[in-house]
Structure 1
Amino acid sequence: MTDTILAPVMWVVAWIMNLIHKVLAFVGMSDGPGPAWVVAILGLTVVVRLLVLPLYNRQIRSSRQMQILQPEIKKIQKKYKGKRDQVSLRRQQEELQALYRKHGTSQFASCLPMLVQMPILFSLYRVLYAFPAIAEGKRGALGPITKQIATDFENSTVFGAPLSSSFRVAEDAGSAATNVRIVAAVLVLFMSVTMFFTQRQLTMKNMPDSAMDSSNPMFRTQKIMMYGMPVVYLFMGSVFQIGVLVYWVAGNIWNMGQQAWFIRHNPTPGSQAYREREKRLREKRRREGLSGDEIAQLEAEEARKNGGQRVQPLSKERAKKAGIRPGDSLVSPHPADRDADESGEQEEASESAEVRGKDGLTDAERARKRYERRQAERARSRAKQANRKKRAQQNQKKRNF
């Protein structure tokens, strides 16, 4: 049943691996058993990661935007705190959805790369699982994978561990059982460590300080993933074949490097990575000979693009009186750096600064009106149904007489 559902993806995975193997053989690597099949799995990793790169970029941007919106999300949640009736819960959800639409983000965009890669991962598992049966003639060819190719793959190893063997069935590898257990254990451990550092990098370095609060559901989820996923990997790793573990480890290394690049060049405003980037840019601009006012002007423009408030740079005399040294940032704090539980006066000021449309309403107010209009329509519909039922009962009584 599983192979029937995954058959198209398994066929594509088999063709990609075989094509990469043929290219490697063409450039001089062994066409039979050997390291070319290990490199083919690494090549499959690169192909898959390049295919999901647009989704990954969307995931990072969506996660970044969700972190920036945390103060506004907290304000909506605080507004409906303690209200558990259906009307309040629905209004809260509608206001949150309006906020997500306004900023072009979604709660589920961060899951897209994982959802795309899971079928590929399980298809690779089923392809490698089928290799022994194909090599023994118990099963027909799988796409380009013939009996001879499957036999060559079966005889390919990673430090003496066959690619199609796993920790759980290491005894099937005969004399190589010890190598299988050692290699599998090392790969699983390395996989868990890389996963931990990837999640830690995303959580501790690229989250705004205002979002790193135990009351923030997103922060709690990230911490659970940071500590929980490596543990899950430790248990799952014993099931997967050496070839799948090679694919998974290579993918984690790719993710770690890709994420490090993204965080370095496009960090979330208010995060540690953002402050480090601002410091690097400031030092670079000083080396280029820019004055303190010019640096402040550039930082103000960048803050405006990131959603912060633009502050006019001060003259040298005014800056000196204010105690600001040349080159210090004159940019106002980003919304992500502000505390969600501000005083009532600050909340009123922020509410008055909300963007209003041509109808004079904000997105939240417009969502509330839509909800109230739908509620009124439903009430009218229920009243009409009640009237029709009442008339039908009256007519029935008249007929009985």
Structure 2
Amino acid sequence: MGSLFNIINIPFGAMIRWFNEITGNYLIALLLFAIVVKLVMAPLAIKQQKNQIKQAKLRPLEMAIRRRYSGRNDKVTQQKVQQEVMELYQQEGYSPFSGCLPLLIQFPIIISLYQIIRKPLTYICSISAEGVNAIIGKLQSFGMFADKTVETLAEDQISLVNAVKGLTDVQFAEIAMIENVDKIADINLTVFGVLDLAQTPSFGNISWLWLIPVITFVTSFLGMRISRKFQPQPATQQSEDAAASMKMMDITMPLMSVFFTFMFSGAIGVYWIYQNVLNVIQTVIIAKIMPIPPCSEEDIRAAEKQLAGKGGKNKKRELDPNRPKPRSLHHIDDDDEDVPPSPAEADKEEEAGKEAPASPDAPKLKDDEQGKYRNK
């Protein structure tokens, strides 16, 4: 798995190193890196937007199908609704799971990015794993990081940067033979002289680092609210519980981001802030260029008429034209006289015709006057 992530980590790490060399500021280097990553992943965001547009165009038909069965919550009816919706998707060539592919592709990239930021000695300074372990061993021999293991420090190397930069000349001479160790001095993790991004915010120690969790919460909260405005409308009307869940998510998700910023170094939190801001900018730009069509009441009514027309045609094709039309059980149809009588009814009508006396007003036939037809 490590070699798989190295395919992404090595070139991206070289990119951060290059940005850090030309700017001389690790904070700006992270910003430029976040912008490049967002541009690289823009095609996936565009593909996801196209998928949402296609879904939005089918929404009137989907809502018309759901309205047809509104008020019926039994299991059979709900299965019928889902079946018709899936048939609609298949006819239009839309897959509701196609939007998951861009997310699946982004997932390993996101993991890789955090590895790069957490391991500047490995991916920015190009120090080997043996060299990193040697540096950690020397720092611990100097009385630093006594409460942490080598494995923990090797996974989160940001704290090692300032530790190495704070060594005396005599101490640094003991690690000077490690390849590329001199590049650590080029990484500047201090912002405005007061904010050390190598440190981790602490609940028990209020400092300038608390700005990172606060800004993370604000950008995450606003980002979710703004992004939801550009998302397609749900196919079904949300219940009060669903609406309450959405509001709760608007709070819990940013709070989770804040919680993680208290677990990692400040550099991770800053990158998280960059991503939140860039996500909002990307969402707004794509939504303006490729807007998602709204679903109005007129669109739903037109879709209902369209479905009714298709249903009528399908029923006509299914009926046998030679099959006699059955009598209605609820009312007398206007064309019931076209239905042939049953054999029993035919016999009764024949007997009634024989027994019925001739009408006195009926005109006499010519043959009757001549006595050719007489009753016997």
Give the conservation status (yes or no) of the 8 Å contact 1:214–1:220: no
| 1:83 has 2:74 as partner | yes
Structure 1 residue corresponding to 2:272, chosen from 248, 251, 257 = 248
2:17 aligned partner: 21
Give the conservation status (yes or no) of the 8 Å contact 1:211–1:219: no
1:262 aligned partner: 286
Cα 1:254/1:128, change in 2 over 3 Å: closer
2:129 aligned partner: none
Give the conservation status (yes or no) of the 8 Å contact 2:52–2:292: no
- 1:115-154 correspondence runs (5 A): 115-131=104-120, 135-136=135-136, 148=181, 151-152=184-185
Cα 1:349/1:21, change in 2 over 3 Å: same
Task: Name the Cα RMSD after superposition.
Answer: 4.4
1:70 aligned partner: 59
Give the conservation status (yes or no) of the 8 Å contact 1:166–1:239: yes
- 1:182-201 correspondence runs (5 A): 182-183=208-209, 185-201=210-226
Cα 1:101/1:197, change in 2 over 3 Å: farther
Cα 1:148/1:348, change in 2 over 3 Å: closer
**Distance in structure 1 (CA, Å) of the matches to 2:281 and 2:99:** 18
**Distance in structure 1 (CA, Å) of the matches to 2:246 and 2:53:** 13
Cα 1:6/1:76, change in 2 over 3 Å: farther
SS in 2 for 1:136: helix
Cα 1:111/1:76, change in 2 over 3 Å: same
Give the conservation status (yes or no) of the 8 Å contact 1:188–1:234: yes
Which amino acid in 1 is paired with 2:74?
Answer: K
SS in 2 for 1:240: coil
SS in 2 for 1:99: helix
Cα 1:120/1:259, change in 2 over 3 Å: same
Deviations 1:45-72 (A, max 9, x none): 1232122211111222323333443333
- 1:260-339 correspondence runs (5 A): 260-270=284-294, 336-338=295-297
**Distance in structure 1 (CA, Å) of the matches to 2:74 and 2:186:** 61
Structure 2 residue corresponding to 1:156, chosen from 178, 184, 189 = 189
1:296 aligned partner: none
Which amino acid in 1 is paired with 2:305?
Answer: A
Deviations 1:124-159 (A, max 9, x none): 3344444575552558899xx966267347752234
Aligned residue pairs total 267
**Distance in structure 2 (CA, Å) of the matches to 1:46 and 1:166:** 24
SS in 2 for 1:82: coil
1:310 aligned partner: none
Cα 1:237/1:259, change in 2 over 3 Å: same
**Distance in structure 1 (CA, Å) of the matches to 2:100 and 2:218:** 21
| 1:350 has 2:306 as partner | yes
Of Structure 1 and Structure 2, the greater helix share is in 1
What displacement does 1:89 show? 5.3
Which amino acid in 1 is paired with 2:89?
Answer: Y
**Distance in structure 2 (CA, Å) of the matches to 1:223 and 1:267:** 24
Which amino acid in 1 is paired with 2:75?
Answer: R
Which amino acid in 2 is paired with 1:18?
Answer: A
What displacement does 1:39 show? 2.9
SS in 2 for 1:107: coil
What are structure 2's unaligned runs of at least 5 residues? 122-131, 138-149, 158-177, 319-376
SS in 1 for 2:87: helix
Bigger mean CA offset, 191-200 vs 252-261:
191-200
Give the conservation status (yes or no) of the 8 Å contact 2:200–2:265: yes
- 1:342-381 correspondence runs (5 A): 349-352=305-308
Cα 1:164/1:121, change in 2 over 3 Å: farther
**Distance in structure 2 (CA, Å) of the matches to 1:163 and 1:250:** 14
**Distance in structure 1 (CA, Å) of the matches to 2:179 and 2:254:** 36
* Larger RCO (CA under 8 A, 6+ residues apart): 2
Give the conservation status (yes or no) of the 8 Å contact 1:206–1:267: no
| 1:39 has 2:28 as partner | yes
Cα 1:126/1:120, change in 2 over 3 Å: same
Give the conservation status (yes or no) of the 8 Å contact 1:52–1:116: no
What displacement does 1:337 show? 0.4
Deviations 1:294-318 (A, max 9, x none): xxxxxxxxxxxxxxxxxxxxxxxxx
Give the conservation status (yes or no) of the 8 Å contact 1:20–1:40: yes
Cα 1:49/1:112, change in 2 over 3 Å: farther
**Distance in structure 1 (CA, Å) of the matches to 2:261 and 2:106:** 17
**Distance in structure 1 (CA, Å) of the matches to 2:57 and 2:46:** 17
SS in 2 for 1:45: helix
Structure 2 residue corresponding to 1:203, chosen from 214, 225, 228 = 228
Give the conservation status (yes or no) of the 8 Å contact 1:187–1:246: yes
